[in-house]
Amino acid sequence: MNYEPTQIFFIVFSGIILMLLMSGFIIVMVLLHRQQQLRNRQKMESLKAEYEKTMLKVEKEIQDQTLSFIGQELHDNLGQILSLTKLTLNSPDEESYSEGKRLINHAIKEVRSLSKRLNLDWVKEVKLQDFISGELQKIEKSGYCKTQFETDEITITLDQDKKLVLIRIIQESLNNIMKHAEPSMIVISLRQEKGTLSVTVKDNGKGFDVADKSKGMGLHNLKSRIETIGGELMLSSIIGIGTEIKLLLPFE
């Protein structure tokens, strides 16, 4: 088959146009892909920065709370033990000497216990169940209200950062209850369900309107924190009935 020169020119020209279009399409796709990669990288860097910021803030809050606790313990507990030791050792008899020695050993034990709380190693060592149980016992011993802890056998082990954030969220939830709710009962449940760790903090206090933005900043802070470690916060509250905060943390 013989082609006329105009036909050959048209075929060649069409081929060039097609190649240019395909090249342009490929270039556009490459540019779009690179832009998407850049956006993904920026998003990952933003998430990483937010995570690090959250961890620093949580660590500082817990350290500040620990220092406040230690100051109170030094004044109320250790100071009392040492004062009693001084009074006991003022008596010359052997029985007082033995009691003074026992009190000094007790004071040394208290100092060692307090020194451990000056860093965050205790977070790594403490079980989440034991921490929650201890916090509820403090509330009940204070006479503020009754408490209840419900838990199943938990087989997972959280890394220190996730446990630290969870501990701080639980503490803040309990603080909010004691500041605002006026309940007669606080219940915390800890469950392990289908690849998810579930922590529910519930009270039978005053409740509040969840749509009221003036009361939402603290809850927004809690939600933001749980999200930085891949979790989710769900809230429900009924005025006159109480409030429930549920924390869900997926794990492998």
Q: How confident is the model at residue 52 (pLDDT cuts 50, 70, 90)?
A: confident
pLDDT digits (tens, 9 = 90+) for 91-103: 777 777 788 888 8
Closest to 231 (Cα-Cα) out of 160, 156, 159, 165: 165
Domains contained in the chain, CATH given? 1-119 (no CATH), 123-250 (3.30.565.10)
Q: What is the mean pLDDT of the chain?
A: 82
Q: How confident is the model at residue 249 (pLDDT cuts 50, 70, 90)?
A: very high
Q: How confident is the model at residue 240 (pLDDT cuts 50, 70, 90)?
A: very high
Closest to 85 (Cα-Cα) out of 77, 157, 199, 3: 77
Highest mean pLDDT among 39-53, 70-84, 100-114, 220-234: 220-234
pLDDT higher than threshold 90 for residue 62: no
pLDDT digits (tens, 9 = 90+) for 186-206: 999 999 888 899 999 999 999
What's the pLDDT score for residue 157?
81
Q: How confident is the model at residue 47 (pLDDT cuts 50, 70, 90)?
A: confident
